Each structure stands twice: as C-alpha cells, then as structure tokens.
A = this chain, B = another copy of it.
C-alpha cells in the first residue's frame, strides 16, 4: 500500500459523485503534486482487482469509479450526466431465475436506470 494508492482510495471514498479517473487525478494531486495520471489508472485497476472499488463503464467513452465495492444500482441523468446511487434492494431472485432458465452459471449482475434526475426536471421548461 503506497502513498499514491492510499490517497487515491481516500479521494474516491470521500465522494459520492462517481468521478472519472481525471477528476480523481486532479484531487489527489493536491496531496501529491507530482502524481502522474498513469499511476492513477494503475492504482484504480489494482484497487478494482482487490475488490475495494468498482468501475462503472457503460454508455460512455470513459469510465467512472465508485468507492463503494458492494453491489448496488445506479441512475444516470441523461441531461446533467450525474450518476446517483439507488436504494433498491439487490434482486438475487433474478440471478437464480436466469440461471435456471438459461443453464449458465451466474456470478453477478448489473442494473442501471436512465432518465432525468429530480433537479433537472425542476429546471426544465413547464410546457
């Protein structure tokens, strides 16, 4: 556990914003000024393998990262782009059902919702 890895994990654990690698890099640089972006990517991959963080890589050309390693679901606003955590309970029933019907062994699943977040709805024109 190097200083770089520790700081990167702290930055990610300290936000609920599901940031990009570049945002994490900018924040961590405040603690380690000569940090390099390559090191951020390397450590994000290591932390992912260690099961400490999650990578959210869907519907975009770049990844976001999540400091909460326990499976949970996300909502992405297609207007402001932000990603929110959801409180929906994990649907293990679906895994079991799918395994039975398909014959595949299922280890995990991902569920994401898309739409317009509460705040963006409020600032939309009221037609």
Binding site for B on A (CB under 8 A): 57-60, 73, 75, 77-78, 84, 86-88, 91, 94-95, 97-99, 101-118, 121
A102, B121: Cβ atoms closer than 8 Å: no
Q: From A57, A91, A104, A116, name the one whose CB has the most chain B CB atoms within 10 angstroms.
A: A104
Identical subunits present = 2
Question: Dominant SS at the A interface?
Answer: mixed
The verdict on A115 contacting B105 (CB below 8 Å), with A98-B75, A98-B86 known, is yes
Complexed CA–CA distance, A95 and B112 (Å): 10
Complexed CA–CA distance, A106 and B117 (Å): 8
Complexed CA–CA distance, A109 and B105 (Å): 23
